[in-house]
Structure 1
Amino acid sequence: MIRFYISNILILLSIVNLATLQSVYQVDPGATCQIYAGDPPGTPLCNDILINKNSVYIGSDNTQETLWQDINQVLYFLDTLQVPGCGVTKNFINLCAFFFPPCIELKNDQNETIAIPIRSCKESCDESFQECQIPDTPVFNCTMPENGGPRFPLVSSIYDLTSFNGNSSYTVDCVNANDIVKTNQTLSLSGNCPAPLLKQPWETVEERDKYIEEGYYFVTNTTTCVLSCPVPLFTTKQWSNLFAMSDVLSITSVILSIYLIITYVILNKKWVHSDKLLNSFFVSIFFVSLAGAIQAFHGTEKTFCPTPLRSAVQKDLTCGATGIIFHMSTIYAILFWTLMSFELWWSIKFISKKINYYKYYLLGCTVITFVFTIVPAVNYNIYYGKANVICWLKDDKYMNTCFWIPMAVCLTIATVFIGLVIYEIYKIVKSNGKQGFLQLQLKPILMIVLIYVTYLYVFSYNYYIQDNMDMFLSRVVDFFVCLSKSEDEGADCKIYGPPIGSIAMFLLIIRSYGIFVFIIYGYSAKSRAIWLSSPVFQNKYLQPILEKIRSRNSSKVTGTTESGASTNSSVSVVNDNTNKKTKKKKKEAVSVEIYSGNTGQLDSDDDSDSGPFNPDGTKLKTIY
């Protein structure tokens, strides 16, 4: 018995709380009850399915014209979504009742008139939204407020009319338009795709999936509307500028990479161990740039977008080939660069211990690169990404497994060795106080650090994209709202995505590696020495001219020395034909850097008393 009383008390309290929590709507003094003016020309919809077209509620901040603009936005979504079962009459009855609800006109003793709407129940709204899979938008959703209460009440609307000498809790029950309106009229959606969306019809799910594999991007799983290619992340002019930037950088990088290969791989006849890693890196960079150059000569936009309806996939020859070349050569470059960071540290730490593991390096890098390239390639996972400027891997599982995770490992290893290099440099400086050795290792340190920064940006950019992907997808609704309001077929509407500046920086980095490396190695003393000792200059036509120039320069140096010019001199000797050693009897420190055609490091038998030295007294060498 006690339990019975307690349960009844709880039920009573819940009813009281529900009544207490019921929102009291504010009366809009400027609202009016109007006769429905009729459907706009070319859009027959509400004329015959309104609950009461002789009295519809129009708020003070609306007109029938503005309400029809809101209806058109909803119709835009419905036409775009094309959800089966949505385009039935009952949903249009609800739609018209939502925007043009029946109106009650009340007058008080002072002959003041107020208008009150008979709102649709939330159940009706939820039913139509669910059937049509309409996304919530600021323009229209089932929980939006209106005059102090929900636009779609659960049961009824309560008004305080005391200011109009009326009831303090005037109640108006909500309605379900489908229970009231009975019509034989059949309404349906147009099935068209509003501009700038394009239409690609399909009949079955299998056919739709086939189109998706071919690069079509349907805006939903139910629609035949596809996004154009390139996707409207940016204006047409901005996309054109990005593509032109890619073309110029790629072709420039290819040309400069070819120069580096000719210089250090072909003309340099006597390689030392460090040359092998450096030259392998040059070749890798060449193929990275070549992928972009192939796209440029084929037409970058044509490569990415074979037709305005779809993006390129691996079966499109140019996209597939350049994607594989880019992926393979990038992995090669990262691996060789990581090994270079290790050998830079080794050359400073263990000056007298030589290592020669290049054949093992090459074998290991080739196996790793082959595995990480063949796995996505055989699964046809190369495509042109919607917000990208290259053909590359598609699925996250392949992208992470075959690129980002290996890259993260390489970055971690390189970070350790760069830190160790800095530590060794600190020890050397602290030991003898000389900093001349920085000149010897400046180029490899500069290149490794520069490439490290670029790789770190690319890695961080990918993390930024993945971390913000949910936000980008959530803003697609804003794009459709913009399209529904646009008066120039959506030319001013853009999908919210990564800023164009971040994409431009990503593009600048991946297409400029040939330029970066050329800046460091393209016009060095060693490269000049290689060219001067090559058949290009060592021939009967140019040799006399070079001898005259060399003789003139020697005379100037001799004259300057005899005149007793500066005793603190730094001499750089470039001599491709002799291995003469320059001895200085002066007590001042002299920093000597020798770049010859057959070596990239100081001769180990140099008996100069000048530095720099390691803490153990051995002479410091340079690599690369």
Structure 2
Amino acid sequence: MKYQIDNIVVLLVALFATICIIDFPTSNAQYFDPTARCEPYAGYPECRDRLKNPNSVWVSETITQELLYTNLSTMLGSMQFMPPSCANEHTFKLLCNQYFQECVDVVVSVNANISVALFNKQCRDDCIRGLADCPIDKSCADLVPYYNVWEFPEKENTFNLSLVGGNDFTIQCFATDSIITNGGDIPCPPPFYLRNSTDRQADIDAGYMFIQDTRCVLPCPSPFFSQSQWDQLSNMAYVLGTISFITTLFNIFTYGVLNRKYDRHSICIIFMSFSFWLVMLTDVVFLGTGWELNCPEPDRYGRQSDAGCASTGIIFQFGVVSAIMWWSTMSFDLWIVLKKVKNTKSYEKLYIIVINSIALILTLAPLSKQQYGYSIAGLGCWILEDNWLNGVFWGPLSVCLFAGISFIVLILYEVFKIVNRVDTGKKKSMRILKYNLKPFLIILCLFVEFAYMFGYHFYTQENMDKYEKGLEDYIICVVTGGTDCTANTIPFGAHFVFLFFIRLIGIEVMVFYGLNRRAKKIWMQSFVFNNRFFTFSFQSTKSTSGSSKEQNQKQNSVEMKKVSSRTEESDVSDNQNNNNNQNQNNNNNQMTLNVDGATDNL
């Protein structure tokens, strides 16, 4: 991503014009500062090889090297954001010698032990060249306050030392290019990093995010959020992601290991839970490796060429795509079961082949264009470009979400019809509420979460220009020496909820599918509760009520035959009516069981 921050140049030109001239304080002397002195250069790396005389630097009581370096480091760091014609070695040397001026110690009177510290200036031609490289509103013919000498003399400066009993003293100016340097690098202002690139495009592909056309790159993670906010996001992922990892693993163990009957509903639950488990696996890997997974270097973002980033991105994409497809498939499968009531053709093999094939295609397609990597606002590696992300995830998500919600609405309608046919008493409304409550909760939770994530993604995508403008303002604040600089970009609370919902789904999978009647029955009938140490007996009241009623009806029928043998024709007619009623009851019970099973599997 390349940030267009042309207005930075305007602000930095103004900054250059205001701070490149040293403001001398008022003193009792008219033509020089009596507190001035010469001292060796403090050794700051930016100007170590760029000074005329590092052994003697002009300072005073109020103008210390620390103060000079504070102003200069801000200026030099901002030079990386200047046009290439301005950010050159001549300009760097010009600035260094303008701040850390060569000091000349002049002895006025040997007998009286009087000396003064004067400064040597660069020639006017150097200033003219500097203005040609960096066109700003500044004159090269200004005077230094209180000293009445030239800021950039044409050839020399003459100091009047009569106030201390001395004669005029002349110092020849020097040419900036006479200073031989090794061309050391000027660093970028923190938190940005300097990147000396021999192949800029290759560095961009490797994950270095350059700021405009400078050599400065963004830190990783990005300044989109403060460090404390990044810590909140990562801690949430550590805790909630680990819990979701365990809960989805519980479902896999329940339906995949303990379960003795693998029907299509249990197969759907196994594969959907496994898909969400893959999504949460990336958080567990992130927990074990830390930010090095997403940021292999402090100034580089993870890319497909990084094994850890590529593998977690692929796992996340396959898991999240297949999970949403399995959820919508379960809705379709339950609808056809209720619609036909009786057993339907088994589609589980077709489900497995089709869903995994589509998920595999949508996962492998971005590999061909090196699309897996870490972006500036996420918590893990995924697909980088919005066009690809919309095509291989958000587009399929919208289709699956619409299909899943549609079939769940149809399921609720079928449940309503079945319950309406079975119950005719006072408790019908309560039964309808009971059978519809769980599907409604699923609709409410998953629909709200998916809809929020869907809307949030496209909202941020639509407003990305505004967020990048906030990052530009942050960069301007940093390079102009501002304090408490903050990037006003993506709303942190909304982004936190987005990442929270992704990890909450793993817990909901266990709540809806791991804590129902069927899961309880699987555990009670498994080797965990039935082994050589003890055995647990589990019976369902609903599943046995129909058989008990049938036995009672058969016994009553036999007794009626023995007592009224002489009215055989009437008895036969009565028995036929009883049998018809019994069959109707059995059918009703069967429909009730189907409804009950449907709500357990939703």
* Shorter-normalised TM range: 0.5 to 0.7
Matches of 1:90 and 1:226, distance apart in 2: 23
Q: Is the 8 A contact 1:475 1:496 kept in 2?
A: yes
Of the structure 1 ranges 387-396 and 286-295, higher mean CA displacement relative to structure 2 is found in 286-295
Q: 1:88 to 1:370 in 2, by over 3 A?
A: closer
Matched, 1:252 2:243: yes
Matched, 1:346 2:336: yes
- For 1:406, the aligned partner's letter is P
Of the structure 1 ranges 227-236 and 259-268, higher mean CA displacement relative to structure 2 is found in 227-236
SS state at 1:81 partner:
coil
Aligned to 2:256: 265
TM-score, normalised with respect to structure 2 = 0.62
Aligned to 1:214: 206
Q: 1:36 to 1:219 in 2, by over 3 A?
A: closer
Matched, 1:532 2:500: no
SS state at 2:547 partner:
coil
Aligned to 1:508: 500
Q: 1:585 to 1:504 in 2, by over 3 A?
A: farther
Q: 1:416 to 1:77 in 2, by over 3 A?
A: farther
Aligned to 1:541: 533
Q: Is the 8 A contact 1:196 1:228 kept in 2?
A: yes
Which has the higher Rg, Structure 1 or Structure 2? 2
Alignment counterpart, residue 282 of structure 1, candidates 262, 269, 273 = 273
**Structural mapping, 1:77-226, within 5 Å:** 78-87=78-87, 191-202=186-197, 204=198, 207-223=199-215, 225-226=216-217
Aligned to 1:375: 365
Aligned to 1:47: none
**What per-residue deviation string (whole Å, max 9, x for no partner) do you get for residues 401-428 of structure 1?**
1111111221222233344345445656
Q: CA deviation at 1:36?
A: 8.6
Matches of 1:316 and 1:288, distance apart in 2: 19
- For 1:384, the aligned partner's letter is Y
- For 1:382, the aligned partner's letter is Y
Matches of 2:295 and 2:380, distance apart in 1: 11
Matched, 1:465 2:456: no
Alignment counterpart, residue 234 of structure 1, candidates 222, 225, 237 = 225
Q: CA deviation at 1:379?
A: 2.6
Aligned to 1:385: 375
Q: CA deviation at 1:365?
A: 0.9
**What per-residue deviation string (whole Å, max 9, x for no partner) do you get for residues 463-517 of structure 1?**
1210110101122231023214556xx6x32322212212221221222322111
Q: 1:606 to 1:444 in 2, by over 3 A?
A: farther
Q: CA deviation at 1:533?
A: 0.9
Q: CA deviation at 1:276?
A: 2.0
Matched, 1:474 2:469: yes
Aligned to 1:394: 384
- For 1:247, the aligned partner's letter is Y
SS state at 2:382 partner:
strand
Q: CA deviation at 1:80?
A: 3.3
Q: Is the 8 A contact 1:341 1:448 kept in 2?
A: no
Aligned to 1:594: none
Aligned to 1:581: 547
Matches of 2:590 and 2:377, distance apart in 1: 51
Matches of 1:217 and 1:435, distance apart in 2: 60
Aligned to 1:312: 302
Aligned to 1:417: 407
Matches of 1:505 and 1:392, distance apart in 2: 18
- For 2:447, the aligned partner's letter is Y
**What per-residue deviation string (whole Å, max 9, x for no partner) do you get for residues 245-270 of structure 1?**
21222221121111111111211111
- For 1:504, the aligned partner's letter is F
Matches of 1:494 and 1:621, distance apart in 2: 55
- For 1:581, the aligned partner's letter is S
Q: CA deviation at 1:347?
A: 3.4
Identity of aligned residues (%): 29
Q: 1:528 to 1:412 in 2, by over 3 A?
A: closer
Unmatched runs of 5 consecutive residues or more in structure 2: 1-20, 26-40, 48-67, 96-130, 139-173, 553-581
Unmatched runs of 5 consecutive residues or more in structure 1: 1-34, 45-67, 96-127, 135-141, 143-150, 153-182, 555-571, 587-603
Q: CA deviation at 1:447?
A: 3.2
- For 2:520, the aligned partner's letter is R
Matched, 1:436 2:431: yes
**What per-residue deviation string (whole Å, max 9, x for no partner) do you get for residues 404-463 of structure 1?**
111122122223334434544565677765441554465455335422322222211211
Q: CA deviation at 1:81?
A: 1.6
Matches of 1:76 and 1:358, distance apart in 2: 66
Q: Is the 8 A contact 1:76 1:484 kept in 2?
A: no
Q: CA deviation at 1:294?
A: 1.8
Q: Is the 8 A contact 1:479 1:493 kept in 2?
A: yes
Q: Is the 8 A contact 2:338 2:414 kept in 1?
A: yes
- For 2:305, the aligned partner's letter is K
- For 2:455, the aligned partner's letter is S
Q: Is the 8 A contact 1:78 1:189 kept in 2?
A: no
SS state at 2:80 partner:
helix
Q: Is the 8 A contact 1:348 1:424 kept in 2?
A: yes
Q: 1:272 to 1:441 in 2, by over 3 A?
A: farther
Matches of 2:583 and 2:307, distance apart in 1: 55
- For 1:478, the aligned partner's letter is D
Q: CA deviation at 1:293?
A: 1.2
Matches of 1:273 and 1:391, distance apart in 2: 33
Alignment counterpart, residue 352 of structure 2, candidates 333, 356, 362 = 362
Q: CA deviation at 1:331?
A: 0.8
Q: 1:184 to 1:538 in 2, by over 3 A?
A: same
Matches of 1:582 and 1:82, distance apart in 2: 89
Matches of 1:468 and 1:73, distance apart in 2: 35
Aligned to 2:125: none
Matched, 1:493 2:488: no
Q: Is the 8 A contact 1:79 1:189 kept in 2?
A: no
- For 2:272, the aligned partner's letter is F
Q: 1:507 to 1:606 in 2, by over 3 A?
A: farther
Q: Is the 8 A contact 1:73 1:485 kept in 2?
A: no
Q: Is the 8 A contact 1:385 1:394 kept in 2?
A: yes
SS state at 1:511 partner:
helix
Q: CA deviation at 1:534?
A: 0.8
Alignment counterpart, residue 622 of structure 1, candidates 576, 597, 601 = 597
Q: How many residues align?
A: 435
Q: 1:86 to 1:418 in 2, by over 3 A?
A: farther
Q: Is the 8 A contact 2:318 2:360 kept in 1?
A: yes
Matches of 1:279 and 1:36, distance apart in 2: 73
Of the structure 1 ranges 307-316 and 412-421, higher mean CA displacement relative to structure 2 is found in 412-421
SS state at 2:273 partner:
helix
Matches of 2:264 and 2:187, distance apart in 1: 66
SS state at 2:541 partner:
strand
Q: CA deviation at 1:238?
A: 2.3
Matches of 1:582 and 1:445, distance apart in 2: 33
**Structural mapping, 1:35-46, within 5 Å:** 37=23
Q: Is the 8 A contact 2:293 2:302 kept in 1?
A: yes
Matches of 2:516 and 2:584, distance apart in 1: 22
Matched, 1:520 2:488: no
**What per-residue deviation string (whole Å, max 9, x for no partner) do you get for residues 32-89 of structure 1?**
xxx99469x9999xxxxxxxxxxxxxxxxxxxxxxx9xx9899478423243113479
Q: 1:423 to 1:608 in 2, by over 3 A?
A: closer
Aligned to 1:328: 318
Q: CA deviation at 1:321?
A: 0.8
